[in-house]
Amino acid sequence: MKKMKIISIYTSVFYLAMNLCFSETFYVGNNGKKTNDGSKNYPWHSINYALSTKGGGNTIIVLPGLYTEQIYLSSDNSGSQKNPTVIKSYQKWGATINVANKIGVVVDYNCPWIIIDGFKITGSPDAGVLLRSDNIKIINCWISHNSSGFYIHNRINCQIENNLIEFNGSNIRSGHGIGGSGKNISIKNNVIRHNSSYGIHLYPRAKQTEIINNLIHHQIKGNGILITIDGSSEKTKILNNTVIEKN
């Protein structure tokens, strides 16, 4: 019995070490092929193919071009605090996600520790980005001309930072730049402008939220910031934002 327990412990440690140490980088390009090896010179053809082939904890670099596929991350693609799953545009705003009939980027349930970096996300009849998991970071993206910008589905520890979020929505009720609810949401250093409804709309609850150093101006039908604070406001920070109303 002791021998079996020792083997089990060693096996667990081995797989943990594998997850911590072996993070790799792969490439996707418009000229890529399924039969390639995912290197920069021989990229794969599809972001979702790369995700399904290599799973979570790796970095996927997307070369410049137009991609008409939804970026969809499921529990198989989850990362870890040590090795998050990173999907990054090789050049800031050089890779465009334009999906005619779906949400542009979906991080689905049970898929934590994801970073989406540097994409242009446009043309969705729904949200540009939908977050259904915790510990997600969306940075350096340009989210425009979607039915709404972001929707955060009651998540914990989501960071939305250094993005341009503009011209989203046609509906006063849902066409926000950033909408949703959750805990430990960080919204920093974004430019949020010309969206149909509110620039930031955190409802029905937001707890321990930071909204800092954003430029929020000229939403079309709504105003700058609406937030419903859940519980004590002690750890909620709304600081150094510039908000200009439409009138």
Q: What is the DSSP string of 177-213?
A: SEEEEEES-EEES-EEES-SS-SEEEEEEEES-EEES
H, E, C per residue of 56-87: CCCEEEECCEEECCCEEECHHHCCCCCCCEEE
- State residue 27 phi and psi, 5-degree precision: -125, 150
Q: How far apart are CA 175 and CA 17, in angstroms?
A: 44
Task: Give whole-number Cα distances, 168 to 36, 53, 186, 219, in Å.
Answer: 37, 33, 20, 10
Mean pLDDT throughout 164-174? 87
How many of the other CB atoms lie within 10 Å of CB of 193?
20
DSSP state letter for 17: H
Give the gyration radius of the chain's Cα atoms.
19
Is the pLDDT at 16 greater than 70? The verdict is: no
Q: Greater confidence, 193 or 231?
A: 193
Backbone angles phi, psi at 128, to 5 degrees: -70, -40
- Position 92 scores a pLDDT of 98
128 Rama sector, left if φ>0, alpha if ψ -120 to 50, beta otherwise: alpha
pLDDT in tens, 139-163: 999 999 999 999 999 999 999 999 9
Average pLDDT, integer, range 159-181: 92
Mean pLDDT (whole number) for 181-185: 95
Which run of H or of E encompasses 228? strand 225-229
Q: What are the helix (H) ranges across the chain?
A: 2-21, 47-54
Q: Which two tokens stand for residue 237?
A: 């920070």
Residue recorded with tokens 């939804």: 70
Q: Which residue has the tokens 């053809």?
A: 45
Mean pLDDT for the chain overall? 90
With cut-offs at 50, 70 and 90, classify the pLDDT of residue 21: low
Whether the per-residue pLDDT at 25 is higher than 50: the answer is yes
Share of the chain above pLDDT 90, in %: 81
pLDDT of residue 5: 46
By percentage, how much of the chain surpasses pLDDT 70?
89
The tokens for 140 are 């350096």
Which region among 15-24, 50-59, 81-90 has the lowest average model confidence (pLDDT)? Answer: 15-24
Question: Across residues 213-218, what is the average pLDDT?
Answer: 97
What pLDDT, on the 0 to 100 scale, is given for residue 55? 82
Q: What pLDDT is stored for residue 205 in this prediction?
A: 85
Contact yes or no for 84/58 (Cβ under 8 A)? no
Q: How far apart are CA 65 and CA 51, in angstroms?
A: 18
Tell me the CA end-to-end span of the chain in Å, nearest whole number. 75
Mean pLDDT throughout 30-53? 97
Structure confidence at residue 233 as a pLDDT band (50, 70, 90): low
